[in-house]
Amino acid sequence: MNIKQLLSDIVSKAMIDAGLPEGTNPAVSQSTKPQFGDYQANGVMGAAKKLKTNPRELATKVVDALSLELVDSGIAEKIELAGPGFINIHLSKQWLSQQLGQASSDEKLGVSQREQPLNVVVDYSAPNLAKEMHVGHLRSTIIGDAVVRALEFRGDKVIRQNHMGDWGTQFGMLLAHLSDKLEANEVAETALADLENFYREAKIRFDEEEGFADRAREYVVRLQGGDADCLKLWQQFIDISIHHSEEIYNKLNVTLTREDIMGESAYNPDLPVVIDELMAKNIAVEDQGAKVVFIEEMANKEGEPSVFIVQKSGGGYLYATTDLSACRYRSNDLKADRIIIFTDARQALHFKQVEIVARKAGFLPDSVIYDHCPFGMMMGDDGKPFKTRTGGTIKLADLLDEAVTRATDLIKDKNPEMPAQQLDEVARKVGIGAVKFADLSKNRTSDYIFNWKTMLSFEGATAPYLQYAYSRIQSIFTKAGINQNQLPTQASIEAPQEKALALKLLQLEEVLDAVISEGTPNLLCNYLYELASSYMSFYEACPILKDGIDEQTKLSRLALCQSIANTLNKGLDILGIEVMERM
């Protein structure tokens, strides 16, 4: 159910009936204030301006036509004309109640399924395997995963692509260091238990130890040349590093699996082909030994084209070359209709260049949408990039452990009697949920400040607040001693708080569509927060289990509670956040 779409269709038709040309934008949107109705249609003013007629007169005609369609059919209670030509639509409580009844009996909560599913390739997480995952990869991982889940919920077909950084010159020093450790009879798993340390050790040797840098470079040559022993060593390294990432994915409740990995190395065989094609099509040219594309479309103020190197002078390939190859693979082999890539904003220029060159070369047909969704940085309380006290990068694994520890203290404090096993589960869900929600709820393009206290608060837009709202509803059911199948299929909508809730519940599809088209899970976070807040106002105004409440009203209100709980549960699940019956 998409009310906005339904109303847009009806208003469009009414506009034609009122004499406006076909295709006039009805400009339907959710109203910002209750006195403006539930939805507004503001398209008349623009249309009147174009036709140079009186907007109010025109709007009156549209309202007349609309009344027939909306009021007589029972969808709306009334249609009002306001100001110079705003049309305010007040939906009928009865109609909302019917729609909600239908939505609640549907496992997709009334969110319609895409008739023609798109093939969407989503490139997210993509850590560099030379090092341990750090907080910078948190954002890509969880924002990407939320968008993936929203797409799937709506019925699109998602192909996850974890474009892991598993190739490149830094592997030379890592492999040289690893081979020494194995020679000294160390086990690979032990040597690589702390990747951060391992990287540091290798780097120190590379900078300081005589002959080591040369050996590291030899390893790079051997690796690129496909030397079997070297590849075996590399594979061992990669496997262990992937295992570290998988532990994080598990902790984070992220849907990525090994099958989704399509690392940089996988494109290796195709890179010379990419270069040959770019040269044959005269898109890339030789420049001081390197192969370069001069992108005129992105010229600076002085008219100098943007420079995009696709092969280094020594013959080495780059991150850019791999991404061009990825464009082709995703369009041709994966048959993508749309490609979405989540990385930090510093890579925006890179992806703009990739897109232009890939389109020119025919690696990316015009029919394929290419969306780079950039995000800002995670900052510490001091407003500087988030680091450990000593200035090191914060390991994601440590951060998540700390979240769970803090949540344990918090829950223990609130509920000292909770059995240990339950405490573990609740603390895990609350701690991880808090970190995820804090991140997901921010407008992704801006930097944001990481703050334990606000994210773990039970007030405001936080995971604990929403999880608590969910578990409160569950406890009402327990208290009422009633289970789902005793509830009426349709709640009756009477009080303004009930109407506000019904409307909100029926707007889930509108929110999900915005999340999907813009790659912005924060809209779903806002929605869920508003839903939980509307529930709190409803709970204050409309008692459920109080003495004197008649049975019918009680059951109707419980049915509404059930819809809210289902929507909170599903909505949080799309964000990858778990709920619990009690907390």
What residue ranges bind ligand ARG (CB under 6 A)? 123, 126, 128, 163, 165, 323, 326, 341, 343
- For residue 142, CA distances in Å to 252, 435, 513 come to 8, 10, 18
Q: What DSSP character marks residue 304?
A: P
Q: In the complex with ligand ARG, which residue's Cβ is closer, 69 or 166?
A: 166
Q: In the complex with ligand ARG, which residue's Cβ is closer, 195 or 341?
A: 341
Q: What are the residues facing 344 on neighbouring strands?
A: 375
Q: List, in order, residues 6 or more apart from 152 with CB less than 8 Å away.
A: 158
Q: In the complex with ligand ARG, which residue's Cβ is closer, 114 or 346?
A: 346
What's the rounded Cα separation, in Å, for the pair 308 and 294?
A: 6
| Contact by Cβ (8 Å): 575, 440 | yes
**Residue at shortest CB range from ligand ARG:** 126
- For residue 551, CA distances in Å to 480, 499, 543, 544, 545 come to 11, 20, 12, 10, 10
Q: In the complex with ligand ARG, which residue's Cβ is closer, 137 or 570?
A: 137
| Contact by Cβ (8 Å): 253, 575 | no
| Contact by Cβ (8 Å): 506, 1 | yes
Q: In the complex with ligand ARG, which residue's Cβ is closer, 20 or 126?
A: 126
- Residue 210 one-letter amino acid: E
| Contact by Cβ (8 Å): 411, 423 | yes
Q: In the complex with ligand ARG, which residue's Cβ is closer, 59 or 122?
A: 122
Q: In the complex with ligand ARG, which residue's Cβ is closer, 399 or 466?
A: 399
Q: In the complex with ligand ARG, which residue's Cβ is closer, 130 or 434?
A: 130
Q: In the complex with ligand ARG, which residue's Cβ is closer, 90 or 137?
A: 137
- For residue 141, CA distances in Å to 137, 192, 360, 375 come to 6, 23, 30, 12
- Rounded to a whole number of angstroms, the minimum distance from the CB of residue 137 to ligand ARG is 7
Q: In the complex with ligand ARG, which residue's Cβ is closer, 100 or 356?
A: 356
What's the rounded Cα separation, in Å, for the pair 544 and 479?
A: 11
- Rounded to a whole number of angstroms, the minimum distance from the CB of residue 239 to ligand ARG is 18
| Residues in the chain, overall count | 583
Assign 336 to helix, strand or coil: coil
- Rounded to a whole number of angstroms, the minimum distance from the CB of residue 119 to ligand ARG is 17
Assign 289 to helix, strand or coil: coil
Q: What is the dihedral of CA 440, 444, 446, 451, to 10 degrees?
A: 10
| Contact by Cβ (8 Å): 316, 172 | no
| Contact by Cβ (8 Å): 466, 532 | yes
